[in-house]
Amino acid sequence: MDNKKLDRLLELTWNDLTEWAGTKIVSRAEGYKSKVSKVAVFQNGPIATVRGTFVYAVHVKLDENGSLYSECSCPYAVNCKHGVAAVLKYIEMRKEKIEVPEAKEQDPRVLLIKQQNSEPVLDIAQINSSIYGYQDEQNEAGQLAELLERKSKDELKTIIYELIEVFPGITKELIKRNKLTNVKAEKLIYWLKEYLKTAYKEIQFDYYGEPDENILDYQQINSNLKRLIRAGYADDVLEMADQIVSAGIYQIDNLYSEEFITLDFEKISPTLFCALEQSSATEIEKMEHALNFVLEDGYHLFDNFKNYLTKNRPESQWSRFADRLLVRLKEIGFPKASPNVCRDHFRDKFVDWLVYSLEKAGRKNEKLSICKAEARTNNNYPRLVEVLREQEKYDEAKKWIKEGVKQNQDRYSGIVSTLQEQLKQIYKLEKDWASAAIMDVENFVSSPNKDNYAACEKINKKNKTWTEVRELLLEYLEKGNLPWENLSWPLPKPKNIYAEEGSYRIFPNIRALVSIAIYEEDPKRVLYWFNKGNELNFRMPIHLADDAAEAAKDYSPQRAVSIWQKIAEDYIDETKVKSYYEAAEYLRKARKVMRLNGSKDEWEKYIKELQQKHRRKRRCIEILSKLSLKPIISD
């Protein structure tokens, strides 16, 4: 028995336990201390019995580096709450001078723990693999075909009867398949169409909020579709496909949770794809059917049809498909103007596929003409600009960007933002770093934050203007002087007349100044602006105050500690148990810094004062007591 290691357990603090097992496990372990029994010493650590959901055996050890480690017969297996509870019980027994006996090698708890941590856990997949070998799904069809070819008619009958015993549903399926005559198939198709129409009735919900009635049985629909395809009615299934998809998407859209039918409905996708492949439709017709599914689908249920559309085809085939889509575009008609909708999204998706088809057909001029028309009729300027950029027609792209910004400036900021980003990318392609830089500066003035500042830094370093620009950006954050109004401004003035209107109006901008000082790893400036914010009664976000303390902890440990203490004290004042735990996290950060700087006594004094101040908050006192650096045995 190594008494030195056992004595090390008596030196443990709550912080040691937290660093070992985590806050939550330590918190739960306290409630289990009373359930620990039969504590003994085995191999320089306590072994114990803990009554939880079941009765578990646990053994705690200290490794050569003095780190804690536990093994348990519970499902968690290592470093669990039972291990922490055993440590707490052992410390309590030693404190009360209760003798702790030494366990023997034959202790059944030792064998139980070894068994728990050494025996492999078998699942059904492992069992099947050990008996039948690894099953490669891709080769299963080939293996089955080979097996069936070798069997006689009588042997095949025997196999079918044996399968029926395991899967009774096969009987119904075989009988239904046999009964599906031409007349019955036509009747089934008729009734399926009628049944699909019921999807649009108002959905009812039962007392528990579950959908009741009018939810189509997609499993049965799918089974019947498969029977029809096998019976040679793939064309009829494909004809119904649009109705099936529309009904399913409608019901998903109108349920408060799409989960009710999505899983069943998505299984129809491969069945419809099978119908598409087996139908007598021409390749162009098949492409149109696939496009209909993709246009209707907003849930990625029919991505296999999207893959079908994008596979390699001859230019002539793409050209014929594009011609069909051009005819359909005229039938769709122009979108109706609406002050609340920036564009017709169905038409937009359709035109995306038309443009894709024209590109694949090598009809680039027509592609460009369509994009120009759609920019004005359906407000899709970004698509046109992207096509012009791909064709390296940068000057023309800039003209359309200007028009698009003018049309959408007061209505759709998202489109304006996209166009401005596209313009910046064009400047970069032209290696016009100065123009790209001024756009990033405009973004920063409109929205001063660390990310926009970093973007300014990156582009201005390429333009070799960062030193001057940086100084004027920081001056703007401090005083509100627009950087381009200064005589030493090294870039052109912004062309966006709205930049000043959208700019930040309260200066100094404490949040941005602190964030940027952290980004630039300048702790002195971090604390300067943090303190300035306190003087100006600026309410610093908790995450930013925490970041400021982290940035300053090596430069000014005392100030970092005071920031964390203030965050913690504000949490404690909320008088919520959850807030006490939040406070403890920040106090641990403060404690770590104080311990590293030799302020252990000062920390203990602070914790005592905090406990005294909040002595009526019982849960708070319990949590604070675990932040002491004194050994647990001294509690």
The pair phi, psi for residue 630, each rounded to 5°, is: -80, 150
State the DSSP code for 514: H
Q: Does a cis peptide bond (omega within 30 degrees of 0) precede residue 508? A: yes
Distances in Å between the Cα of 276 and the Cα atoms of 225, 296, 309, 318, 596 are 12, 16, 12, 18, 71
Residues 6+ apart with CB under 8 A from 574: none
Alpha-carbon distance of 341 to 343, in angstroms, equals: 6
Q: Is 68:60 a contact under the CB 8 Å cutoff? A: yes
Please name the residue that has the structure tokens 């604070």: 624
Q: Which among 496, 477, 486 has a CA at the least distance from the CA of 438?
A: 496
Backbone torsion region of residue 211, taken as left when φ is above 0, otherwise alpha when ψ lies between -120 and 50, otherwise beta: beta
User: What pLDDT is attached to residue 5?
Assistant: 75
Q: Where are the beta strands (DSSP E) in 259-383?
A: none
Alpha-carbon distance of 238 to 579, in angstroms, equals: 59
Structure tokens belonging to residue 225: 């579709």
Structure tokens belonging to residue 186: 């036509």
| Encoded amino acid at 51, one letter | R
Residues of the chain with pLDDT under 50: 119-128, 130-132, 134, 137, 497-500, 502
| Encoded amino acid at 417, one letter | S
Structure tokens belonging to residue 77: 């297996």
Alpha-carbon distance of 536 to 202, in angstroms, equals: 58
Q: Which among 574, 591, 575, 579 has a CA at the least distance from the CA of 627?
A: 591
Distances in Å between the Cα of 578 and the Cα atoms of 19, 29, 172, 539, 582 are 20, 18, 57, 22, 6
User: What pLDDT is attached to residue 124?
Assistant: 40
Structure tokens belonging to residue 416: 């304006």
User: What pLDDT is attached to residue 141?
Assistant: 67
Q: Which among 379, 399, 403 has a CA at the least distance from the CA of 389?
A: 399
Alpha-carbon distance of 378 to 361, in angstroms, equals: 24
Q: Work out the angle between the directed axes of helices 14-21 and 81-95 (0-180°, nearest 10).
A: 160
Q: Where are the beta strands (DSSP E) in 19-175?
A: 36-42, 45-51, 55-62, 68-72
pLDDT tens-place string over residues 493-539:
887 644 445 455 789 999 999 999 999 999 999 999 999 999 999 99
**Residue 426: Cβ within 10 Å count:** 21
The pair phi, psi for residue 161, each rounded to 5°, is: -65, -40
Residues 6+ apart with CB under 8 A from 607: 624, 627, 628
User: What pLDDT is attached to residue 179?
Assistant: 64
The pair phi, psi for residue 36, each rounded to 5°, is: -90, 135
Distances in Å between the Cα of 518 and the Cα atoms of 447, 502, 592 are 18, 25, 21
**Residue 353: Cβ within 10 Å count:** 19
Alpha-carbon distance of 173 to 16, in angstroms, equals: 64
The residues pairing with 540 across neighbouring beta strands, listed in sequence order, are none
